[in-house]
Amino acid sequence: VKGESMIDAGIMDGDLVVIEKRDTARNGEIVVALINNEEATLKRLQNNNDGSVTLLPENSAMKPMSYPAEQVQIQGVLVSLLRRY
Active site residues: 5, 43
* Contact between 74 and 23 (Cβ < 8 Å): yes
Q: What is the DSSP letter of 65?
A: E
d(CA 73, CA 32): 9
